[in-house]
């Protein structure tokens, strides 16, 4: 798997480093005049042109039957809702969920992830994990100024983007998975950790003058 590290940016694998992105956009405030530039520069970190994979200001119906505009929509992958700095991101989440969960987006084009931002913060929502919570909304009565649900999301500030690039691996096509305590891989690992170590048989030497055991590995690798 390709890992996004600062070394990759130095080698020219990315058009723009996350550190440069953070500095360039730390003063952005206005959604209408700055949001699209913000996201074009963001996707450049991953060497992706947003126009090739999606659309800015994509149309979608809302729960009330009105036509809304998604700030950015990548069918099957991502929906972005952006607000001006210091605006309520809960409202942005409601708007995004409205499009996704009320038929505003075709089933075949439903995004896996939602990102909302006010320039200063990112929130990433995994819609698969969200649906697993079993939260149900009565969208016929939905009012954005009243509805306040708490979907599963990860939030971090713009200044910590370089520490959270792995959370955007889905942009590169990698599967995002969160391991739970009950997952088989974790159960097996816990059982192995809890077992007492097995005593290894004494090694056989290659010859009377040799100090190297037969079958001894040249390198010992410890993983955590």
In whole numbers, what is the pLDDT of the chain averaged over residues?
A: 75
pLDDT at position 103 is 73
On whether the CB atoms of residues 42 and 34 are closer than 8 A, the answer is no
Q: For residue range 68-91, what is the model confidence (pLDDT) as tens digits? A: 899 999 999 999 999 999 999 988
Percent of the chain with pLDDT over 70: 61
Separation of alpha carbons 118 and 87, rounded Å:
7
Beta-carbon contacts of 53 under 8 Å, excluding residues fewer than 6 positions away, are 74, 77
Give tens-digit pLDDT for 25-60: 999 999 999 999 999 999 999 999 999 999 999 998
pLDDT band of residue 117 (cuts 50, 70, 90) is very high
- Please tell me the predicted confidence (pLDDT) of residue 142: 40
- What integer pLDDT is reported at residue 122 of this predicted model? 95
In the chain, which ranges are E strands?
A: 55-61, 67-74, 78-82, 113-117, 121-126, 153-157
Q: The sheet that has 67-74: what strands, in order across it?
A: 55-61, 67-74, 78-82, 113-117, 121-126, 153-157
* Cα distance between residue 42 and residue 19, in whole Å: 11
Q: Find the angle CA(90)-CA(111)-CA(172) to the nearest 5 degrees.
A: 110
Percentage of the residues of the chain whose pLDDT score is greater than 90: 44
pLDDT, residue 64, reads 78
Strands 113-117 and 78-82: what pairing?
Answer: parallel
Pairing relationship of beta strands 121-126 and 153-157 according to DSSP bridges: antiparallel
């Amino acid at each position: 798997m390709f890992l996004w590290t600062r070394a990759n940016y130095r080698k020219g694998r990315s058009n723009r480093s996350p550190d440069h992105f953070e500095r360039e956009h730390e003063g952005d405030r206005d959604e209408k005049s700055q949001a699209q530039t913000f996201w074009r520069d963001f996707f450049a970190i991953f060497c992706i042109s947003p126009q090739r994979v999606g659309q800015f200001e994509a149309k979608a119906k809302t729960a009330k039957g009105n036509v809304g505009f998604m700030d950015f929509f990548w069918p099957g992958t991502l929906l972005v809702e952006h607000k001006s700095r210091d605006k309520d991101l809960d409202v942005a989440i409601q708007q995004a969920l409205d499009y996704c969960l009320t038929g505003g987006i075709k089933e075949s084009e439903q995004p896996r992830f939602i990102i909302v931002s006010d320039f200063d913060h990112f929130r990433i929502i995994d819609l698969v994990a969200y649906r697993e919570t079993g939260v149900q909304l009565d969208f016929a009565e939905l009012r954005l100024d009243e509805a306040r649900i708490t979907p599963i999301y990860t939030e971090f500030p713009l200044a910590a983007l370089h520490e959270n690039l792995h959370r955007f691996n889905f942009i590169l096509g990698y599967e995002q998975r969160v391991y739970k305590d009950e997952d088989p891989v974790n159960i097996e690992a816990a059982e192995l950790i809890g077992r007492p170590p097995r005593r290894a048989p004494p090694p056989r030497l290659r010859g009377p003058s040799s100090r190297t055991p037969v079958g001894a590995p040249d390198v010992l690798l410890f993983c955590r």
